[in-house]
Amino acid sequence: MQTLFKNHNKLSITNKKKLKDEAYHLYCVVYMIVSKHYNRIIISQISPMAETVGAEQEPPLLDFAALTGSPAMGPVRCCRCKAYMCPYMKFIDAGRHFKCAFCKATTEVPMEYTQYVTSMQQYGRVPAEMALGTYEIVATKEYCRVCCHLLY
């Protein structure tokens, strides 16, 4: 059971066990009388460790250090809100910068990543982080060095 999401004329697949959105309408009588609007709550249930069954597709595992050839290269993130690269980010200045879809900040793209994306596009392919709704990232050594003390 997979859910298809359309974005920028591409299909991206994420398993509905991993991400499920539900919308509930809550009616507040006093508020409705005054403003004639409904209160709406959106709930997202995220289960990243959900098991895949049968023909369901596993999310791809991305190792940016191996893909770009730079050992220090990690995932490309927004400089302001720290959002990871996704299909909704817009490249500007011939791919040297991107505009974040969430906070609208402009972030410089590392040269290694620009070369990787350009080489993928020459062969008519789209990187997984720019086409899929779900993907896994290999943690960099820097990330493990900084964050491991939080686990113990």
Tens of pLDDT, residue by residue, the chain (152 residues): 444 444 443 444 566 666 555 544 444 444 444 445 555 555 666 777 778 888 888 888 888 888 888 887 888 899 999 898 888 889 898 889 999 999 999 999 998 888 888 888 888 888 888 888 788 888 877 777 765 555 55
What residue spans define the domains of the chain? Answer: 2-46, 61-150
Backbone angles phi, psi at 121, to 5 degrees: -70, -25
Angle (CA) 147 88 83, round 5°? 15
Q: How many Å apart are CA 134 and CA 90, to the nearest integer?
A: 18
Q: Which CATH architecture has domain 61-150?
A: Roll (2.30)
pLDDT of residue 17: 60
Residue 118 to residue 123: CA distance in whole angstroms: 9
Q: What is the pLDDT of residue 26?
A: 44
pLDDT at res. 79: 92
Q: What is the pTM of this model?
A: 0.62
**Taking the CA of residue 123 as centre, how many other CA atoms within 13 Å lie in the half-sphere pointing to its CB?**
8
